[in-house]
Amino acid sequence: MHQIPQPMLASSVASIPDPAKTPGGLAFEPKWDGFRALVAFDGERVEIGSRGAKPLTRYFPELVAAFARSLPEPCLIDGEIVVPRGAPGTQRLDWEALTQRIHPAASRVALLSEQTPAMLIAFDLLARGERDLQPEPFETRRAELVDLLGEVPHPVHVTRTTDDPTVAERWLAQFEGAGLDGVIAKPLARPYAPNKRAMFKIKHARTADVVTFGYRVHKSGSGVGSLLVGLYDGDGKLWNVGGVAAFTDKRRRELIDELEPLVVRDDEGAAVTGETEKSRFSGGRDAGFVRLRPDRVLEVRYDQLEGRRFRHTVQFARWRPDREPASCTYDQLETVAAYDLGDVLV
């Protein structure tokens, strides 16, 4: 079995890059919002590696069975595991269902593999048979990928690509409605570069004004690790919408002092609706937080909303002392038109 490498990564850019400015040109792909997966198949056994240290094989038995049954020869595939939801014509990616698939109990894993089956979106081929394709340019690897997997049935899909930046712009606008989160641009002439940011990612960048209702202490035990932020619905109910992190050491310590006047006892804090539990990938970290009076407003940068929460950790932009907390409502957020996942897979 081929050794699973670290995946090739992408650097963020503000807009669709010009292919003419990259030697050899660019290929554009939808950016699938799931679990990065490197699938190794030796003709009998299957292993699924992730971007981090956690192997994914045991969590997706339905994919392991499908790969062993359908992959035509030994190979090493780079792709994304996603879970769809909804009926044909109204399908989109379901991030919450995907995260639930990471469960310690084998019985639960087996049940979820039937209730919320996953699929693999393949976008690169690193080995085929005994051949290592990583030194080959992406243009060659892509052709090999289509040749190998083009006729393989669901749940294996080969992502679509285009060399037209105008089409990529349209994908960036439309495919978010199916739960995707941007576009990837890959230099056609470059070899595979494990753990290197050799691609480009273009994601939506938006801002919102939110109210902070608490914070978690940094894992080091010193300073604010993340601010918990919320938005009000039309009934005046405050919902937890996510966290703001990535502060410097100095700024984390400063925030402790700045927020001290807002700290309240648990029975005095404002009621907040929505989950504040730890992630399944949090390694058992304490999910507790210091509750604050929801009096301070901040502006954050975010990419998209998943249900009532921001899909990813948001970025701090600035404090907004000019805004009243009650004005931080869902109404300010951009509404994205629905788009059928099936039309993205075509």
Active-site hit among 31, 186, 196, 250: 31
31 is catalytic: yes
Nearest to 304 by CA among 23, 21, 33: 33
Contacts of 268 (CB under 8 A, 6+ apart): 291
Distance CA 62, CA 323 (A): 50
Distance CA 136, CA 186 (A): 13
Distance CA 217, CA 135 (A): 44
CA dihedral 204, 209, 215, 220 (to 10 degrees): 40
- Residues 227 and 212: beta-carbon distance below 8 Å: yes
Q: Which residues of 58-92 are buried (b: 16+ CB within 10 A; e: fewer)?
A: ebbbbbbebbeeebeebbbbbbbbbbbbbeeeebb
**What count of other Cβ atoms lies within 10 Å of the Cβ of residue 142?**
21
Q: Active-site residue numbers?
A: 31
